[in-house]
Copies of this chain bind each other. A is one copy, B any other.
Amino acid sequence: MQAWIDSVNWTEIGTKALTVALQLIAILIIFFIIRAVGRSFISKSFSKMSDQRNISHGRVKTLERLSLNIFSYVLLFILITIIVGIFEYDVTALIAGAGIVGLAIGFGAQGLVSDVVTGFFILLERQIEVDEYITVAGIDGVVEEVGLRTTVIRGFDGTVHFIPNREIGSLSNHSRSNMRALVDISISYEDNIDQAIAVLQKACDEAALEDDVIKEGPHVIGVQNFGDSDVVIRVIAQTANMEQWAVERKLRKAMKEALDANNIEIPYPHQVNLTKESSAG
């Protein structure tokens, strides 16, 4: 035993330990320099971006904090792997383990990463803001919260929808401009189209006068379709945001009453009946 201990090359071990210690110190110094430089670079980028792109201060702060966190964690992770790497022998073993476990985790967690990447760009590109009315992933409602992992939407029926950001592909924002009100109204094949259009246009003009939320029109644009029993006339208008449904309801009522007043029929389904002697059956 003693012989074995003697035979151990203590000098070599000491040298090695010293080398390792020196390496650790060097790495830590480099680590803190890079960290400081990186954080300062990120902060400056965001403040510059904030100035240029006219993004609200609060949002920039959120993104900046996210970026700083990611940067710090990545750097820390690299630091750990480098320090682990100094003890030369064990890394390959880690890879072996990572081969089995990492695959499962990597696949399982990719959804999480995908959530965060998508969430980051939704924030950065200001695709949605809280209180906007949007449609994502087949669900529509008013945005309650835009998170990095989850977007929370409250539907008009009171349901709260939690949508992982990865499920947000195409995103439709209905709160960015005036909206279109569109009403299709039917008249009979027997009625005069020109007269009907004139009546409807007059009713629309009166409705527009009374109502501030109608921004443009409404215009009766013509014969949109030939139905089975009716000629379909289309009316469109531009309204203040979120007022399109109310305007549509008002226009429907106004136009129906105008047609009634002018004896123009909104036709029921029609059927021509032919009578045949029932010879066969």
Contact = CB atoms under 8 A, between A and B. Distances in A.
A37 interface: no
Copies in the complex: 7
B112 A97 contact: no
Interface string A132-176: 000101110000000001100011111111111001011111101
Contacts of A244: 157-158
B99 A223 contact: no
A135 to B, nearest CB: 8
A281 B172 CA distance: 42
A109 interface: yes
A266 B98 contact: no
Given A85-B89, A180-B156, A265-B281, A186 B272 contact: no
Given A85-B89, A160-B174, 15 more contacts: A92-B92, A95-B99, A100-B102, A104-B113, A107-B107, A135-B159, A160-B176, A162-B171, A164-B169, A190-B280, A268-B270, A268-B280, A270-B272, A274-B278, A276-B281
Interface of A: 1, 3-5, 7-9, 11-12, 14-15, 17-19, 77-78, 80-82, 84-86, 88-114, 116-118, 121, 125, 127, 135, 137-139, 149-150, 154-164, 167, 169-174, 176-180, 182, 185-186, 188-190, 193, 221-226, 228-229, 231, 238, 241, 244, 246, 249-250, 252-253, 256-257, 265-281
